[in-house]
Structure 1
């Protein structure tokens, strides 16, 4: 028996059925498409939820940091001072605590984003600005200017920025061999970092006692006494880099490929990796200039964010928010753990980051996913 087929008459309505998907690449599982006018963005749903939760936790930590200290301030009074409603705690909250907390949040955002970009370029969870020598370069430059040049405290941020960028440029130049090989990049960074520590210690032994003490306090990573003069340059840096960070969030999807995979797909990663590295270096140097080398934040934040979001690549926004949350909570702990004695925030983050680094090394050695 022969089956009969009929063609629809011209102008006849098409049979009902599921709408066909427009041609093009299939949308990855777990992603949604966000459209704004002519622009469209692919958003990982779980990453968006994680970023929203982190933002709420950061807001809670921000208010808590305004409330605690030698004098307790209620959350309502703290918020009144923030929004300019006069009350008895304006000096404590508005003058002493608010600039410090804002600086800490900005430092955490910068370190978290910098760690995300550096680890993406290096394809190694052990790579971070404090491991590959960026923060060490900033510290060595500050100590050198303090000891040899008689630099004032107001010039410290500029010296730190110069030292961080210089150390990163040295690492990048030494690691470049017809491309940026991830393992070589990390190993050379560790070597440069150790050399800079030796230079810093040598300078400290020859420094005046007062200058050496000032340098040691700065190198411990502290938010004590940080005012708007520290927060504003860092905020301006983040604002200027915002369009580049939007590009970096998309570029991370391909920058994590190994060289063989990128070559087989016809992707040139040299410029992409260079761009991501430069953005990460500037962010880490600016954060170090504002608060000193706050250790391990840039190391921990990207991996914590990736595990929360469960994405193949490190989520940039979530990593920045985790970094801000770590610094904010660590600052609260620095003020309360040994009250009335106040610890540098870098001491608290190092106490958290040291065991984390050991766990990460042990997990990598035993074959676990890093």
Structure 2
């Protein structure tokens, strides 16, 4: 959903509006809302609610929706242990991590103007994983600080990709290719850490590397929720700044936009979101690739819609984890296996489509102003 503040109450509302938009008037401001984006967001919200209900009801034992409602409302229920202790905290981690991956992918793809510029493709998730797995296998940090190490690792990887890709401007194809190279190198570093560390801890790290919500609970959900809450004002800023970045450089500069700073802020926010989600749920691959592009195709907006990307990312993770729990029961698969099974063919389709249309479009961006 895209919001564009137009006027305050003291000024008359504009008579005309772009096609496909509606005017929403609040107390002191008037907003222009894209009708199709609002409809898509509403439908995704309903689907996400249905997916969460199915997640809480379905398992080794089926819990009636009435009992689920009682647990969520804090009323006594015989299914308190199953729903409130086992399923709901795990689902919450999946919801928050999926939303963070969706928004992170949307921001990075917007700056790079490339659908392949996903955190798990260009090395950001791998940087977060390398530092986290290294600290985990060698026992130099406790589980409570692992999410913070993931953020540091993701930022370090993004900085390296940005520096090596910068040549008087940011070329989209070079940015993606260098990111892929760093992703491969960092995966090798992660594998080296696991072979040199304690065997049992390395096995746990291997499961974490596939992206798994098994064993996740309130200990992971609470820091992730607080981080996303703190970053919410930044995300609201990004929704507005996103429109400026989609303009060509000359137009944006003429409008007074400091493109270098805006792009750097969007990338940094995307890196932090992806790294925090990786620290909580592991590197759940392809969610940040799938959600933004699917949301854009559904809404048909000029820029990638952040709200729809967040809802779709959360929906993908929740449904994938539900299927991972039940498809081969009693064996439980990591959620990353399901997302990779869907995301890998989509990545191949993007590459084939880009080849047929003459390759990946490249852009050049101005330096910090």
TM-score, normalising length: structure 2? 0.89
Farther off after superposition, 202-211 or 280-289? 202-211
CA separation of 1:41/1:180 partners in 2, compared to 1, >3 Å: closer, same or farther?
farther
Partner of residue 321 from structure 1, selected from 307, 311, 314: 311
1:343 aligned partner: 333
Answering whether residue 144 of structure 2 is matched by residue 154 of structure 1, we say yes
2:225 aligned partner: 235
Matched position secondary structure for 1:180: coil
Does the Cα contact within 8 Å between 1:34 and 1:41 map onto a contact in 2?
Answer: yes
Matched position secondary structure for 1:32: strand
Can you give the 5+ residue segments of structure 2 that lack an aligned partner in the other structure? 1-11, 361-369
Q: Report how far residue 321 of structure 1 moved.
A: 0.4
1:200 aligned partner: 190
1:88 aligned partner: 78
CA distances 1:17-41 after superposition (whole Å, capped 9, x unpaired): xxxxx69795321112333333333
Q: Report how far residue 146 of structure 1 moved.
A: 2.4
2:242 aligned partner: 252
1:30 aligned partner: 20
CA distances 1:119-154 after superposition (whole Å, capped 9, x unpaired): 001100011110111110111001211233443333
Structure with higher Rg: it is 1
Does the Cα contact within 8 Å between 2:123 and 2:179 map onto a contact in 1?
Answer: yes
CA distances 1:24-81 after superposition (whole Å, capped 9, x unpaired): 7953211123333333332111000100000000000001000111111111111111
Answering whether residue 188 of structure 2 is matched by residue 188 of structure 1, we say no
1:223 aligned partner: 213
2:62 aligned partner: 72
Does the Cα contact within 8 Å between 2:137 and 2:193 map onto a contact in 1?
Answer: yes
Partner of residue 130 from structure 1, selected from 120, 133, 139: 120
- Matched residues, number: 350
Partner of residue 283 from structure 1, selected from 256, 269, 273: 273
1:172 aligned partner: 162
CA separation of 1:271/1:26 partners in 2, compared to 1, >3 Å: closer, same or farther?
farther
Partner of residue 356 from structure 1, selected from 346, 355, 359: 346
Matched position secondary structure for 1:130: coil
1:120 aligned partner: 110
Does the Cα contact within 8 Å between 2:13 and 2:30 map onto a contact in 1?
Answer: no
Could you say what the CA RMSD is over the residues aligned between the two structures, in angstroms? Answer: 2.2
Q: Report how far residue 253 of structure 1 moved.
A: 1.2
How many angstroms apart in 2 are the aligned matches of 1:275 and 1:151? 29
Matched position secondary structure for 2:247: coil
2:130 aligned partner: 140
CA distances 1:183-241 after superposition (whole Å, capped 9, x unpaired): 33222211211111111122222222112101101111111111111011111111111
Q: Report how far residue 264 of structure 1 moved.
A: 6.4
CA separation of 1:192/1:27 partners in 2, compared to 1, >3 Å: closer, same or farther?
same
Answering whether residue 45 of structure 2 is matched by residue 48 of structure 1, we say no
Q: Report how far residue 171 of structure 1 moved.
A: 1.9
CA separation of 1:188/1:102 partners in 2, compared to 1, >3 Å: closer, same or farther?
same
Matched position secondary structure for 2:138: helix
Farther off after superposition, 30-39 or 57-66? 30-39
1:295 aligned partner: 285
How many angstroms apart in 2 are the aligned matches of 1:260 and 1:198? 41
TM-score, normalising length: structure 1? 0.89
Matched position secondary structure for 1:232: helix
Matched position secondary structure for 1:222: coil
Matched position secondary structure for 1:73: coil
